[in-house]
Structure 1
């Protein structure tokens, strides 16, 4: 990977820090009695501010049906950064619960936009053999930000008064500000430029990103350009726009794969476990301080999980990644439920059983943290064609947020009412989905985004080898275009 491509990918992957940090905030502040008392929160209002955030996230995802294709992936990221700055300031400075919730909604919109557009952007600037690792880096940043927030949350716990939670929430301003500033040095997506007819710019961006990449010929970027352009021309000639998702069988199949994965991804129960860890730990007999320590360990484990996943995703493929994930999650879920039931059977007096429940949670969390979070941004962007990639990815993340709204609202009440039986539902869903996955989900590793269309029975304009026949033609057209641009000032003079 050459330096410029690496810097661009690091920038795009930074977008996941938005979501990771915000998720960590949601968990940590629930361990602060000053926060609970300031807004006079109960199980219902705790669910409400969680739902407000994810409701905003769903709105942000729906905005990505329009923004990334109209204004570009890069401009959309910049819009989200501005919204995040406003929303974060409202949360940190809130003097009443409605203002705090409004800030959470605005922050949710910003995160919904950036969290779903960044994987699209990343897939469009990465070479085929590293797309999985780019998804893994995206997942690592989610987990790293979450881990960092949780350990910071533990440190801030010892700050007296409301300064603790206000500081924790205020730091949300930092990633938004950093990403907004850095965005002015980023290129537009080459595939979006081709969609807009700005072909010379697209070729130049591909040259800067992919020329001299290790493992490829020097003219790889030219072949790639011609392949992208040819594939888009087929889609444009057949008028395969947004409506094609509903009319074209292969597009519907791709969308079904994304939406089914997202639904079962959320029905793993990871959000209830992650967001309400403190509630679960205290129910198992642990103190607030030790509960915050455990949330930090949970975040650290997610980072270790992502490092493991990064070694598998491009080498073994996407399918093997999921098999490894569920080999942890299903046994971990069974352990969690069985041990929690035993703990309650002893009238919640067996401290050793309480610690064993935590082991089940962590075993489960390791299986999800890196593996599922790597598969999500990688596979969902790979299987969608360029003209509807942003829309398809946004649809997946929108469903993600809509399901989470329900889960964060009902989980505090469900834990109070039925405790371990609530998580039994998620274990059953895991078993159902792994069967569906084995039957219906194809492998996509090491293929260009355009070549993946063949897996779903669609016409592929040309392979990279075939595109190689047009290298001289592309260079000649590009030189003519540059020469024409240089001649314009002379003619005007």
Structure 2
């Protein structure tokens, strides 16, 4: 892997993303290397989400761990992964800025590997639970750091697609896990559950060697006053043969540096942040980040995913094998929807996708709830009504796949300030994991007690998300990460729907002018410090 140290441009972005994601359309020079590290990491995340549901119902697994016959023990054995991930998010929140994006990711991957080995070799339930807790801890660290790392290395014009492509690897692995669960269902014994758990280590073999040789985020380096290293990384990201003295590199460097200086100059005590007294509104931005993750989990995707095979058996009358097969087919259509998201994420914008997703997925749940209610009243029509319900759930997955499945991860990586980006990303991801734990742990109780009303509850949640997004969520598409500071610095009101600059997809002229001002300011600073005009400053200003 030594050759990665020599990579630049397209291939550097590619390897950063491969470690975190997987595949993508052709990109220009500076984008390709950073995708690889993100891909393998997010693949591991998706695989873990999908594989354990098949493990829990394996005959040999139940024989080795008979305690899981108790519903409460069964639930905690599965959901403890989310609790571990929540703890990992808190670790990233407090130590992520100290360690840096790359080293934090390495810590997470190491914990993933240790946790996976403990699960593979388990013959006692406490060891299995400890393994899942450690595995979840690592996943919490990774899912907090990876989107931030990638967004800080990507250009604004393709950042959304890059983060989505990294996140698609999650869906690819989730699909793989479902098909593996179906295929291995024909074979019994320890292989039926130990092999799927062991397969996790494939992702470690890809991600860890690549990550060792990748550069640190240039924005984090500037945050730590390591300007020369940041210039080197920015030059590598621009493309082969680009030098740190190139005007384009200096322009990017100066724009980021001035934004950091402004943030440091305006730094306020944590108390003022919590009371919304800081000019860049960090707490408001953190709440928006956490809100997207809460919306994702309370859209009901985990509740539905957990019980789709059961629903296909009980409501429609399919056999267990057919239910597993249809669940795997559903995960494939879900993957197709996620790929479609790559095409439209930057064309439609984050706001519009979330607005559409809340109405469309909410309608699916509403129709499904009505069909289940009618099936209770008219047992003779149970099969057609059950088929209609299943169709709505399949459609839900498609609509969810290109809206709430991916957009929250992109939005979370874009909306926060540089000084709070790591902490806010960790807090948002922690929100995702703790909500996932709550939904997963209590879905069975909800289904047993509410029946069709349980699905109506999620329809109400989803319809309620529409006014929240419309009123409070600014657009982040086509904005640089420094543009988001301008957004909150110049627009203190929490309501955004009346301000076109905050809701339009295209980058507003005001933000372009603000970037020009930052570059001019940096040029003047350099002139004052050195007594001579900054190299290339006139050309840079002219370009902007």
Correspondence for 2:19: none
Counterpart mapping for 1:282-301 below 5 A? 282-284=313-315, 285-301=317-333
Counterpart mapping for 1:207-246 below 5 A? 207-211=235-239, 219-240=247-268, 245-246=273-274
Counterpart mapping for 1:99-110 below 5 A? 99-110=127-138
Between the aligned partners of 1:26 and 1:349, the Cα distance in structure 2 is 34
2:481 maps to 1:449: yes
Could you tell me which of 29, 33, 48 is aligned with 2:55? 29
Correspondence for 1:465: 516
Assess, with a 3 A threshold, how the Cα gap between structure 1 residues 276 and 241 changes in structure 2: closer, same or farther.
farther
Between the aligned partners of 2:465 and 2:78, the Cα distance in structure 1 is 26
Q: Deviations over 1:179-229 (max 9, x none)?
A: 11110121101111111111100011011112489xxxx733321111111
- 5+ residue gaps, structure 1, are 479-493
2:65 maps to 1:14: no
Counterpart mapping for 1:170-249 below 5 A? 170-211=198-239, 219-240=247-268, 245-249=273-277
Assess, with a 3 A threshold, how the Cα gap between structure 1 residues 283 and 70 changes in structure 2: closer, same or farther.
same
Assess, with a 3 A threshold, how the Cα gap between structure 1 residues 227 and 472 changes in structure 2: closer, same or farther.
same
Correspondence for 1:427: 459
Q: CA RMSD in A?
A: 2.7
Could you tell me which of 466, 470, 483 is aligned with 1:438? 470
User: Which segment drifts farther, 190-199 or 348-357?
Assistant: 348-357
Correspondence for 2:419: 387
Q: CA deviation at 1:468?
A: 5.0
Q: CA deviation at 1:268?
A: 1.0
Q: Deviations over 1:379-419 (max 9, x none)?
A: 11211011110100111111111112121111123223333
2:428 maps to 1:396: yes
Q: CA deviation at 1:359?
A: 0.8
Correspondence for 2:118: 90
2:9 maps to 1:4: no
CA contact (8 A) 2:35 2:166 kept: no
Between the aligned partners of 2:306 and 2:270, the Cα distance in structure 1 is 35
Q: CA deviation at 1:337?
A: 1.2
Between the aligned partners of 1:348 and 1:292, the Cα distance in structure 2 is 25
Assess, with a 3 A threshold, how the Cα gap between structure 1 residues 141 and 243 changes in structure 2: closer, same or farther.
farther
Task: Report the 3-state secondary structure (helix = DSSP H, G, I; strand = E; otherwise coil) of the residue aligned with 1:311.
Answer: helix
Q: CA deviation at 1:248?
A: 3.9
Q: CA deviation at 1:245?
A: 4.0
Assess, with a 3 A threshold, how the Cα gap between structure 1 residues 472 and 113 changes in structure 2: closer, same or farther.
same
User: Which segment drifts farther, 56-65 or 275-284?
Assistant: 275-284
Q: Deviations over 1:348-396 (max 9, x none)?
A: 8733332222111111111212321321121112110111101001111
Q: Deviations over 1:397-452 (max 9, x none)?
A: 11111112121111123223333221211110111111111111111111110111
CA contact (8 A) 1:27 1:276 kept: no
Correspondence for 2:308: 277
Q: CA deviation at 1:117?
A: 0.8
Between the aligned partners of 1:256 and 1:348, the Cα distance in structure 2 is 48
2:181 maps to 1:167: no
Task: Report the 3-state secondary structure (helix = DSSP H, G, I; strand = E; otherwise coil) of the residue aligned with 1:94.
Answer: coil
Could you tell me which of 53, 60, 74 is aligned with 1:46? 74
Between the aligned partners of 2:410 and 2:332, the Cα distance in structure 1 is 22
Aligned residues: 475
Correspondence for 1:491: none
CA contact (8 A) 1:30 1:278 kept: no
Could you tell me which of 131, 139, 159 is aligned with 2:159? 131
Task: Report the 3-state secondary structure (helix = DSSP H, G, I; strand = E; otherwise coil) of the residue aligned with 2:188.
Answer: coil
CA contact (8 A) 1:74 1:183 kept: yes
Higher RCO structure (Cα 8 Å, ≥6 apart): 1
Correspondence for 2:26: none
CA contact (8 A) 2:296 2:405 kept: no
Q: CA deviation at 1:458?
A: 5.1
Task: Report the 3-state secondary structure (helix = DSSP H, G, I; strand = E; otherwise coil) of the residue aligned with 2:476.
Answer: coil
Between the aligned partners of 1:244 and 1:430, the Cα distance in structure 2 is 33
Q: Deviations over 1:110-135 (max 9, x none)?
A: 11110111011111001001111022
Task: Report the 3-state secondary structure (helix = DSSP H, G, I; strand = E; otherwise coil) of the residue aligned with 2:235.
Answer: helix
